[in-house]
Structure 1
Amino acid sequence: MTKVVYFAFNGDQMCFVHVLLNVLEMSEKGYDVKIVMEGEAVKLIEPLETSKNPLYIKAKEKGLIDCICKACSAKLGVLEFNETVGIPVDGSMSGHPSMAKYLEEGFKIITL
């Protein structure tokens, strides 16, 4: 089985919608696929939650959003909100999610 993790850094919602579209398609085709929210992308959680974006909600309900960066959430002032949405907040690598962890688990990494 192909394993892919998207590290989403871009804070543009339109760009992130494309991540969601690809992850949902890959999941439906049997890929083991995940999203890690990093950088400016951590600021997208609140608007996606409040607008109830259907692609985001579907990916969240399927458990495809693996974690949100703790350090970036804190730096960008969204940590408190991000800790309330039911997606793990990860700071295992100097405050950020570890790419090495995913490589060690056999994932290919795509950054956007």
Structure 2
Amino acid sequence: MQAPEPESDLYAVLGVRPSATAEKITSAYRARVRELRPDTRVGADTTARFVEVRAAYETLHDPIRRAAYDQRLERTLPAPDPRAAPSKPVRPPRRYVVVLGDVRPEPPLRAGPVRWVPGR
């Protein structure tokens, strides 16, 4: 089994987005395999594409391999333009607690031992 070229995007090979779930990846793989069935479509090009689709599925379906591939993909992305305007930092929303007057919580309910009486 040959691995796909390192430059090829495995998500594009299967036709899914990088945020796709495992179910979507499996569905896309099955659809591609139906298109490239090696038993009905004989040819060097079809066979090479089938091998590429299968290798992409094996990498993206396994969570550990997929995480490693995503890390490699992030490293190969172009660096952001330093001349671009910097984005503002995102601040978490503020939460306020409102206290109305001298409100004190009621004491918790206390229950004694419960006795079961048959027939009641």
Provide the TM-score with structure 2 as the length reference.
0.27
Higher strand proportion (structure 1 or 2): 1
Provide the TM-score with structure 1 as the length reference.
0.28
Task: Tell which structure's C-alpha radius of gyration is larger.
Answer: 2
- Report 1 or 2 for greater relative contact order, CA contacts < 8 Å, sequence distance ≥ 6: 1
